[in-house]
Structure 1
């Protein structure tokens, strides 16, 4: 399977449903107490884009997109309208949003990431598909000029021309997409049903690196 660097139609994605999924095994003991074990180290996102279809043209666009991706074969970009920035959805990204590393005087490559924090707990999510032209980087709060670093928009890696000094705080702000694939082998549409208000299910699933 390869990745096609093309985004699913954002107008259809805007009406989609879905979000993060975690796999936890829950065992109920004879006492009634539970034992819970995380089967996945992190989360995986699932979406259904059928709810975003609003017209015959939308249907046609999704069919074209499905055929060009070979169904499940090739992954692609998807904008999760509830979680697509290094900051909350209604805010504007800044270079101070997310700490992505600390300099040691040697390392020049750092990976974009977003940290989710609640109640003293946190989870760090690797960001592998930043949006071109949106990544801002800072060292100890000072913006880094574009000539002094490069961003790989297919891996989320930031490469500095000169290694940051030991202890330097590296932060970044960005927009990002999710790498997903179709999670069905056949698109089943009935134009009559669609015009009568019945929405088809078109599931997508995140492709983890």
Structure 2
């Protein structure tokens, strides 16, 4: 029986909260003979990297990681990971609201929008597509009025929001949500020592973001 490339199961939350890591941006910098620099980004979107080893506080936690690692077949199957610092459309420590993020404007016919999160302001801001929302947390508003739960559906796999009725032309569509990062294990061998763990040695458990 073939194994899926991605599992919608989430890495244990109690282990995620001790994680270190964050976004990585690969920028090529060339120093010109004039003294100026030429800078070019390799990818449009950042790739997030984490080390979940620091979230392991007990042998029970370590056993849970082994179970999760084996179920994912190591690097083979991706999974959901809740970033302890960046998991809400409203920003760190705040509950999502229906007006957090602009998804676009109605044209009288379109009913589907992609969830996104903006970083920064104006033209210099960065727009990040959100592919793994917590579907039950999504709130949507049209022209400043929140929609009832039955007035829209959310695809928790892709982050697409579909409204039951198309908004009028020019009507703003906004949303708020919690979300996960699609990642995979970035190691072939989950190496640990129980003796070392008891003496305070924490294993390294690297994770890297994927595009599901």
Q: TM-score range by the shorter chain?
A: over 0.9
Gaps of 5+ in 2: none
For 1:117, which of 108, 117, 120 is the aligned residue?
Answer: 120
Gaps of 5+ in 1: none
Please say if residues 44 and 208 of structure 1, whose CA atoms lie closer than 8 Å, have aligned partners that are also in contact: no
For 2:209, which of 196, 206, 209 is the aligned residue?
Answer: 206
Matched with 1:22 is 25
1:132 aligns with 2:139: no
Give the direction of change, closer, same or farther, for the CA distance of 1:194–1:119 in structure 2 (3 Å limit).
farther
CA drift of 1:32 comes to 3.6
Matched with 1:62 is 65
Could you report, residue by residue, the CA deviation over 1:121-146 in whole angstroms, capped at 9, with x for unpaired residues?
20000011111310000001101112
For 1:156, which of 156, 159, 166 is the aligned residue?
Answer: 159
3-state SS, counterpart of residue 100 of structure 1? strand
CA drift of 1:177 comes to 0.5
Listed as ranges, the matches of 1:3-82 within 5 Å are: 3-82=6-85
Matched with 1:165 is 168
* Number of aligned positions between the proteins: 209
Tell me how far apart the structure 2 counterparts of residues 163 and 88 of structure 1 sit (CA, whole Å).
28
For 1:174, which of 177, 180, 184 is the aligned residue?
Answer: 177
Please say if residues 149 and 159 of structure 1, whose CA atoms lie closer than 8 Å, have aligned partners that are also in contact: yes
Matched with 2:108 is 105
RMSD over aligned Cα atoms? 1.3
Tell me how far apart the structure 2 counterparts of residues 134 and 205 of structure 1 sit (CA, whole Å).
25
Tell me how far apart the structure 2 counterparts of residues 183 and 13 of structure 1 sit (CA, whole Å).
16
3-state SS, counterpart of residue 133 of structure 1? helix
